[in-house]
Amino acid sequence: MKLALSDFGCLFLICIISIVDDTKLVNKIVIQELVKHLKQLIFDKNGRRPLLQLLHPFCSRYLSPNDLACLNYNVPSLSSTEVETSESAIGVITENKLDDVTAQDPNGLEGKQIVFESKKDPLQRRHELLIKSELAEALVQSCIENVGELLRTNFGKEVLYEMAVGGKDNVLDGLTDRIHMLHDAIASDAAQPKTEDTEHAFENFFSSRVIRRMVIDCPAFAVTLWRKALQGKCKIWAEGHSSKVVASFLESPSTEVKDLAKPELQPLVDAGILKVPDPKVVQK
């Protein structure tokens, strides 16, 4: 537990869960210990990182340039040459590309392939450590139970986001029903009326932004949120932080999501009430 909460200890755990092929051993020694302290880990800056590594490996949103360097990843800004990796090399980790937004940023970092002595397919390893170990089930349950707090915290919202969108490469594919329950829990929190005690999910700085990302990246969540919390109420949320959530339905790449929301949102855009950001300059 102490290892997971330290700056370099969490990186050591990331190496273990990313390289070791014996997932039964990793489950027994590492994963079961993480499950025991899951709530504390998902809210901690370092503790969440091994979990995020399983959900979205080597993502620049969760790992700093120094972290990536510590994990032996090449930083293009420090090298003008491409790293060539032999197709016949064993255990090439192909999941280390940075998230799409950062990868498209010319000033950002871009991960490079690294050869490890592991033979198991990286996606299979992640599936075994998440699904077969029941870690993912415990994560979903913890997210549902703490959804309001996770939405409104800087570190907790990232685990919530990855769980809600199903992780990279649909690694949580076997938990579809449970993830839909998580969508309902998030939408239910957002459907609550404003109170003086708790800042509304659409108005909180952290939650409004992570909900926007979920709407854009997960059409299933967007439909649930629209029907449960936004339909017929968009005008009251068309200004301030909440406007980011409302406008995200028109930014969605999903035709279904756009068609669902456009009849109500287009009049607000035409009236100048709702501003839709230019996709060329918007960052998730």
Counting residues of the chain whose pLDDT is more than 90, the rounded percentage is 70
Q: Tell me, yes or no, whether 219 lies in a domain.
A: no
Residue 264 within a domain:
no
Please write the tens of the pLDDT for every residue from 206-254.
999 999 999 999 999 999 999 999 999 999 999 989 999 999 999 999 9
pLDDT (tens digit, 9 = 90+) per residue, 253-282?
A: 999 999 999 999 999 999 999 988 765 444
Residue 114 lies in a domain: yes
Region 154-175: what's the mean pLDDT?
A: 96
| pLDDT given at position 67 | 87
User: Does 137 fall in a domain?
Assistant: yes
Does the pLDDT at position 89 exceed 80? no
Other Cβ atoms within 10 Å of 245 Cβ, number? 26
Please give the pLDDT value at position 66. Answer: 86
- Work out the average pLDDT over 115-128: 82
93 vs 176, residue with greater confidence: 176
Residue 40 lies in a domain: yes
What is the number of structural domains in the chain?
1
For the chain, give the percent of residues with pLDDT over 70: 81
Look at residue 139 in the predicted model and tell me its pLDDT: 97
Is the pLDDT at 25 greater than 50? The verdict is yes
Of 90 and 36, which is predicted with more confidence? 36
Q: Is the pLDDT of residue 69 over 50?
A: yes
Position 253 in a domain: no
pLDDT tens column, 94-112:
344 444 434 444 344 434 4
pLDDT of residue 197: 87
Confidence check: pLDDT of 195 > 80: yes
Confidence of residue 37 (pLDDT cuts 50, 70, 90): very high
Q: Would you state the pLDDT for residue 72?
A: 67
Residue 81 has pLDDT above 50, yes or no: no
Quote the pLDDT of residue 185.
Answer: 98
Which residue segment(s) compose the domain that 29 sits in?
A: 2-190
59 near 87, Cβ under 8 Å? Answer: no
> Average pLDDT of the chain?
85
Give 81 or 36, the one with higher predicted confidence. Answer: 36
Q: What is the mean pLDDT of residues 190-216?
A: 95
